[in-house]
Amino acid sequence: MNSIQVTPPMLFAGIGIVLGLLMIWRAGARKARTAANAARSGARAVSLVGRVLVLGGLITGAQWVVITYAADNTTLLLGVLGVPALFTAATLVRRLTVVSDAPRRKGGHR
């Protein structure tokens, strides 16, 4: 029987090939993960826009029904028009208010 002899150049070449394949595999996995994240965020944006449009349509429909058929009931009219406006205002104020407690990075006070 012949024994297999591995010389140092063969060993280094084998390690190099394995490391090269590992790097190629990781780069492919990284690209796939980046593409999946991009697709997921795009789908999130489309899904969010769809939900906003459906909810806006439902609120508008409810308001239209109340204005059309119960225009003489002032309390109901104010409730149907006022409650969605309050939720919208609260959401917009929260999103558009800029509050920063982070310390300044370069230098002191201004």
Domain boundaries defined on the chain: 8-96
Please say whether the beta carbons of 90 and 96 come within 8 A: no
pLDDT bucket at 110, cuts 50 / 70 / 90: low
Report how far residue 7's alpha carbon sits from residue 64's, in angstroms, rounded to the nearest whole number.
85
Please say whether the beta carbons of 42 and 52 come within 8 A: no
Query: Does the model's pTM come out above 0.85?
Result: no
DSSP letter assigned to residue 107: S
CA-based nearest residue to 65, from 50, 81, 52: 81
pLDDT tens for 26-71 read 888 888 888 877 777 666 667 777 888 888 888 888 888 888 888 8
